[in-house]
Amino acid sequence: MSSSRKVVELFYDVVSPYSWLAFEVLCRYRNVWNIDLKFKPAFLPGVIYGSGNQPAGMNPSKLTYIVSDLTLLSEYFGVPMFRPSDLSDKDTLSAMRFVTALAEKEKEGDMLVERVSRELWKRKWRTHQDITQPASLTEAGLKAGLSANVVKEILSLSKSQPIKDKLKSVTQEALEYKVSAFNLHLCTLCLAHQKIFVVEKYNKMSLHIFPPFLQCFGFPFIVCQVNGKAKVFFGSDRFELMAYFMGNYNGLGIY
């Protein structure tokens, strides 16, 4: 399987720190795993609303855990980030339209999308700078290596109806992405000594209790395809299972 065609799609919003972690790790493993990594900028509030989920910040216990969790994950993955003093400022609609416009302009490859997304995450989660105003997006674009003329063009394009529709469509694409939850035996997997052991199998589960499809309910939402066979993953802690699915599991290290 290691020589199979592997495509990994990352649906993300720069409002999500977990998406940043997934973004950086997938970029590091892009060549190691020999994957075709595709960035899918989308709008997290649209996914939260569309899936019937609730923002994690609405649960005080969950929010406290997330703050502690991100501190440890930041150290582990080597991606410095710090909690903004004002978590209420979560409007990334303009930022994600900006990234979407850049993605539409950059038809060949995702290099500029990668750079600009990273700068926006840094502003949001490291230096705590604004990412909502045109001047702020201009600063991020220039720092990412865009020329002043290109930034001006992307800003104008980001306000157009086609780009607004594109962001909506990618967000909807994430919501509508369905992978059967029952096309294989459901297994409980135990990771030990860098090997995967199947410890328990279930052949049947009640459709009255569990929905028949795995669907997007938050970001990062990662779709891995190997020779047309798809598997979806949520979160920034599923890399060992991704490697196992793609035939690349040899234990993980920081590259």
Between CA 253 and CA 255, with CA 254 as vertex, the angle to 5 degrees is 110
User: Parallel, antiparallel, or unpaired: how do β-strands 213-214 and 229-234 relate?
Assistant: unpaired
- Could you say which of 3, 16, 147, 206 is catalytic? 16
User: H or E element: which one contains 67?
Assistant: helix 60-77
Question: What is the Cα–Cα distance from 68 to 65, expressed in whole angstroms?
Answer: 5
Spatial separation of the C-alpha atoms in residues 196 and 241, rounded to whole Å: 9
Give the residues across from 192 on adjacent strands: 195
- Tell me the C-alpha distance between 118 and 101, whole Å: 16
Q: What's the CA gap between 131 and 14, in Å, rounded? A: 10
Clarify whether 16 is annotated catalytic: yes
| Terminal Cα-to-Cα distance of the chain (whole angstroms) | 22
**Catalytic residues, which ones?**
16
